[in-house]
Structure 1
Amino acid sequence: MKINFKRLNNDYHFETVNERGDIVHMDNKSEPNPQGASPMELVLMGIAGCSGIDIVMILKKQQLEMTNFQMEVEGMRVDGEIPNVFRKIHLKIYIDGDIPANKAKRAVDLSLEKYCSVAKMLEKTAEITTEVILNGAMVPA
């Protein structure tokens, strides 16, 4: 796996390109008009994408189709800490469809405990918690 990274202006706007040509813009979030996500926002996007792919794949393998899948990810850091890594990450996962609650919860747990490489890296510094909302109702932990 390899990416190219280049500066696009005289400040902090960067462009990353992977080997397939997919482009992601990055910027310093403290700039007045940032032109991309911050690196730490990309980390949260990474755990969402990694676990989202796992969850969908696990449910598809069980021939369970979703009508909607969304996630909110919140990362908490300690002000003033250097480096300022995430200490807590909370994933709120919304699933709609004819899916048993235990299977939805199990797919989420399998992703974060076994398959999601991003979560496995982040759990070394951050407590990762989840909420699963299935068809508008909270699935018990």
Structure 2
Amino acid sequence: MKVNLKRLNSNYLFETKNERGDVVLLDNKSEDEPKGSSPMDLILRGIAGCSSIDVVMILKKQKYELEDLQVEVEGFREDGAIPNVFKKIHLYFKLKGEVPSAKAMRAVKLSMDKYCSVSKMLEKAAEITYEVNLNGEKVD
């Protein structure tokens, strides 16, 4: 896996490109109108994407197809700390479809506890918690 970064302006706007040619813009959130995500924002996007891929894959293998999957991720940092790393990350999974609640919860749990590489890497530095909602109802 390889990513290249190129500075695009005289401030903090960067273009990153992976080996497939996919482009993601990075910018500093202190800019008036940032034109890209911050690096810490990308970490939260990464855990949401990684776990969502796992959940879809696990449920597909069990012959369950989701109608919709959304994840809200919130990262909590210690104010004024340097470096200002995440101390806690919370994911809120919202699934929709004809899936038994136990299967939905198990898919999320397997992702977060075993398969999601991003989650496994980040858990060394931050407490990671999650909750699951299926068809508008909380799943325990």
Structure 2 unaligned segments of length 5 or more: list them.
none
In structure 1, the residue matched to 2:53 is 53
Matches within 5 A, 1:66-77: 66-77=66-77
Find out whether 1:112 has 2:112 as its counterpart.
Answer: yes
C-alpha distance in structure 2 between counterparts of 1:65 and 1:3, whole Å: 33
C-alpha distance in structure 1 between counterparts of 2:129 and 2:20, whole Å: 33
In structure 2, the residue matched to 1:99 is 99
Matches within 5 A, 1:27-66: 27-66=27-66
Q: Give the superposition deviation at 1:82.
A: 1.0
In structure 2, the residue matched to 1:130 is 130
Q: Give the superposition deviation at 1:79.
A: 0.5
Aligned residue type for 1:122: L
**How high is the sequence identity, in percent, across the aligned residues?**
65
3-state DSSP of counterpart to 1:66? coil
C-alpha distance in structure 2 between counterparts of 1:95 and 1:134, whole Å: 5
Aligned residue type for 1:83: P
C-alpha distance in structure 2 between counterparts of 1:66 and 1:52, whole Å: 11
Aligned residue type for 1:106: R
Aligned Cα RMSD in Å?
0.5
TM-score, structure 2 normalization: 0.99
TM-score, structure 1 normalization: 0.98
C-alpha distance in structure 1 between counterparts of 2:100 and 2:113, whole Å: 20
Structure 1 unaligned segments of length 5 or more: list them.
none
| Runs (4+) off by over 2 Å | none
Paired residues in the alignment total 140
Q: Give the superposition deviation at 1:29.
A: 0.5
